[in-house]
Structure formats: structure tokens, C-alpha cells
């Protein structure tokens, strides 16, 4: 996963990741965070859960749900979309009424 420049494997990849995160200015970043980020982004982008689970090596939907931390943001967007659809509903009724009168 994190080989030396000459291709030799690193003995403790976890330490290599930790050192790399520190060098990148993110000492609080963990390997586990990358999996959570990937699950959340795939869900946000509409990747089917079964495909995301397979790519991330997750065996059950409950594990995927645990890693997908973006549910709150998606719910807010869903409510906003619903509100927009409800605002547009009276206009649709008016147009439908006009069509019925002109038949």
C-alpha cells in the first residue's frame, strides 16, 4: 500500500499512513476516515449501495449505513426538493385547469 520509492514494502503501513498524514498537515486523519469519506461520497453521487459495498469490502447494508455519514445533508436536500415541488404544484393545477377548459 505504501512502498518505499525503490519498491520495497513498508513493514508497518499504519505508521507510514500516520507519518504521511502528519506531513500533509492532517495529523488527525485515520485510514478509517477514508473509508467513511468514500462511503459518503458514493452515496451522495448516487452509486448503488450494493456497488459501493462491494468496492469498499462491506458485507452488510448495516455496515454501509454506519459508514455513510452524509444522510443528514441528503435529508436536507430532499426536503428542499420536496418544498420546491410543492411550491410548483399550484402552477401545475392551473395549467391542467386551463387545458381542461380548452378541450
Alpha carbons 98 and 73: distance in angstroms, whole number: 38
Q: Residue range 46-53: average pLDDT?
A: 92
Same domain, 3 and 38: yes
Burial (Cβ within 10 Å: 0-12, 13-18, ≥19) of residue 46: exposed
Q: Residue range 46-63: average pLDDT?
A: 92
Position 1 scores a pLDDT of 58
Same domain, 40 and 86: no
Same domain, 61 and 83: no
On the question of pLDDT at 102 being above 60, the answer is: no
Q: 39-43, 65-69, 70-74, 89-93: which has the highest mean pLDDT?
A: 39-43
Q: Residue range 66-78: average pLDDT?
A: 76
Same domain, 58 and 81: no
On the question of pLDDT at 33 being above 80, the answer is: yes
Same domain, 77 and 91: yes
Query: How many CA atoms lie less than 13 Å away from 68 in the CB half-sphere?
Result: 25
Grid cell of 16 as nine digits: 507510514
Same domain, 52 and 3: yes
Please state the domain count of the chain: 2
Amino acid at each position: 500500500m505504501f512502498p518505499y520509492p525503490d519498491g520495497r514494502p513498508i513493514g508497518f503501513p499504519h505508521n507510514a499512513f500516520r507519518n504521511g498524514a502528519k506531513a500533509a498537515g492532517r495529523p488527525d486523519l485515520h485510514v478509517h476516515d477514508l473509508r467513511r469519506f468514500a462511503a459518503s461520497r458514493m452515496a451522495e453521487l448516487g452509486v448503488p449501495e450494493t456497488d459501493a459495498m462491494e468496492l469498499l469490502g462491506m458485507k452488510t447494508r448495516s455496515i454501509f449505513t454506519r459508514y455513510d455519514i452524509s444522510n443528514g445533508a441528503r435529508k436536507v436536500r430532499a426536503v428542499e426538493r420536496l418544498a420546491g415541488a410543492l411550491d410548483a404544484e399550484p402552477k401545475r393545477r392551473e395549467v391542467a385547469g386551463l387545458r381542461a377548459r380548452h378541450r
